[in-house]
Each structure stands twice: as structure tokens, then as C-alpha cells.
Amino acid sequence: MEFIKYFFVAFLLVSCGEDDTTVQEITSEITTLADLVAQNDIEIDNVIACASGSQNANEIIAYVYPRPDATDLRYFETASATVDKNDYTEYQEIDIPVQDFFNGYLKTFKRQTIEEKWVIISFRESGILHLSNPIRLKHQTANTSFTDQVIVDQTEPGMPLFTWDDFSSEENAIYFQVVSDQTNELLSGTYTFEEQFQYYELDNVVLNITLETPPELISQTNYGFTLMGVSEDNWVNVLAQRSFITE
């Protein structure tokens, strides 16, 4: 299970995107990932990244967690999904603006493409080139579903318990949860294998990207909860978002 292996080894989401033709026209030099790898010291499977579909036709969104010292984020993709995902010569760099997600805590790349492909995202950190696992785009054959069907149990004040079912997807290998405030600031970002998360209990958390201890939730205040169900090939099968008011 490559996706799960990544999480344990590594301890594993705005302007309009360009379509395929436009990106090729505006990019003067398309660099293969193999070229970049040959020029750098690298670490593989060390970038937390995934991708989802969009509510816009033929659009995908790639998400990446740039650790605080990360620089030079890059997006690479193959021409199709039928190539060898581990052959870096198949990956071309595509010039796409990096966008903020949760006020920059995460970053995104938006891309208009009809073809399903493999994607790898890279960044530099402390002089090392870090690469994500290959991400399989599935926006044509198994597009991301969007929902608000998350149960918020506030029996324990200030520590809401979020639960959900598997959304009828057997492909979900891991779940990513974000609790955010009214300004869309990320308060906590965690991964679980289980279909629940309680703020801010870490008993079932397998990866925590929260940099500081999250603040206590304020009574009678609006907050947001975002959930991604992610498969082993790093595709987001379901994206759930809902707001709630603390009791």
C-alpha cells in the first residue's frame, strides 16, 4: 500500500488554470522531472500532496503541504495515465500559478485538462529536492464527490467529535481533516485511518501537520470542517465541507 507506506515513512487538499494547449504555448522550456532530478540531491516520498476533481468540468486541483522552509514548488505531469508512473522522463513541468489554500497553510495548483494523468509535485528544502508520490488524476472516470454529510457531536464542550461514513467509497485509504476559523485560518490539520476525529485529541491521528497547539474553540462561534477521503494513489475520492457553531 504505497500511500500508507508514504505516511509512515514521512512521519504521507486563485486564478483559472490553463488548458493543455495554452500551457504549452506560454511555457518556453518544458523541463522533465528527470532533468531536474539529475541536477539535484533528492528525497522521494517526502512531500504531502494529493489531487481532487472540481465542480468545474475538466478541472483538477492538486494540493500540497509546503513545510515552513519549502521553496520553489513545481508541478509535473505525464501525457496520459498509461505511462510508467515511476519514469521521471515522462513528467513534464507545467507552469501553473501556486494558489493559497487555508490562507497559505496549504498550496494548490488548478489545472484544466481532459486527459487523466500522473502528477508529481516537488519543492526544495535545505538544499534538497523533495518529491511527492505519484498522484493519479481520476476526474473523468472516478471524479471527486462533494458533500456536507459530516456529523458534529458537541457532547464534550470545546471538543467536537466529527464522524462520517465511508461515503460508499472502498477506495478511501486515509482521511485528512482540517478545522478552520471564520477567517479560513487552519487551526488543526490531521490524518486518520478511522472515520472520526475529535478536536483536539490525537489518539487516532497517524500524521499531524499542525505546527502549533491549536487554540481552544470559543463558544457560540462559527467554525469550518473540511474532510478529504484519499485513496492509495493520492486521489481525493470525496471532499466534505460543512460549517458548525460551537455550543
The whole-angstrom separation of Cα 207 and Cα 49 is 13
pLDDT tens per residue across all 247 residues of the chain: 444 444 433 434 333 334 443 333 333 355 899 999 999 999 999 999 999 999 999 999 999 999 999 999 999 999 999 999 999 999 999 999 999 999 999 999 999 999 999 999 999 999 999 999 999 999 999 999 999 999 999 999 999 999 999 887 789 999 999 999 999 999 999 999 999 999 999 999 999 999 999 999 999 999 999 999 999 999 999 999 999 999 9
Radius of gyration of the chain (CA): 18
- What domains does the chain contain, in order, with CATH numbers? 2-136 (2.60.40.10), 145-245 (2.60.40.10)
| Burial class (CB within 10 angstroms; exposed 0-12, middle 13-18, buried 19+) of 108 | buried
d(CA 152, CA 165) in angstroms, rounded, equals: 13
pLDDT at 67: 96
